[in-house]
Copies of this chain bind each other. A is one copy, B any other.
Amino acid sequence: MSATRLDTDALTTALADLNALGQGGWSLSGGRLCKTFVFPDFVRAFGFMTQVALIAESMNHHPDWSNVYGQVRVALSTHETGGITERDIELARQMERLSGNG
């Protein structure tokens, strides 16, 4: 999967596609692809994180993320390129899928 930094047009398209998959909420912040997932409780939130962790490890591409009870905030970027790449889009797609969308 390409680790080339996406240009503005490609990123705009990818963001629209991602937000069309589920309930939206993806945005760009500080050069990273961000979303806050909200679950009913900690068990559901951490269950989601555990599923994502397995996928992230298998992709060798890991999120920056934080969790408070039922909320999981993710911020994706590709450190080597200093920007957002197709690998981030793919990880975001997987997160949508695992959260019940996509």
Which residues of A pack against B, CB within 8 Å? 42-43, 46, 49-50, 53, 56-57, 62, 64-69
The answer to whether A67 and B69 touch across the interface, beta carbons within 8 angstroms, is no
| Of listed A43, A53, A65, residue having the most chain B CB within 10 A | A53
- Bound form: Cα–Cα A49–B53 in Å: 11
- Bound form: Cα–Cα A49–B56 in Å: 15
Say how far A65's CB is from chain B's closest CB, in angstroms: 6
- Bound form: Cα–Cα A42–B60 in Å: 9
This protein's copies in its complex: 2
The answer to whether B57 and A64 touch across the interface, beta carbons within 8 angstroms, is no
The answer to whether A68 and B57 touch across the interface, beta carbons within 8 angstroms, is no
Say how far A48's CB is from chain B's closest CB, in angstroms: 12
The answer to whether B69 and A66 touch across the interface, beta carbons within 8 angstroms, is no
Q: Which B residues are CB-close (under 8 A) to A66?
A: 64-67
Closest residue of chain B to A53 (Cβ to Cβ) is B46
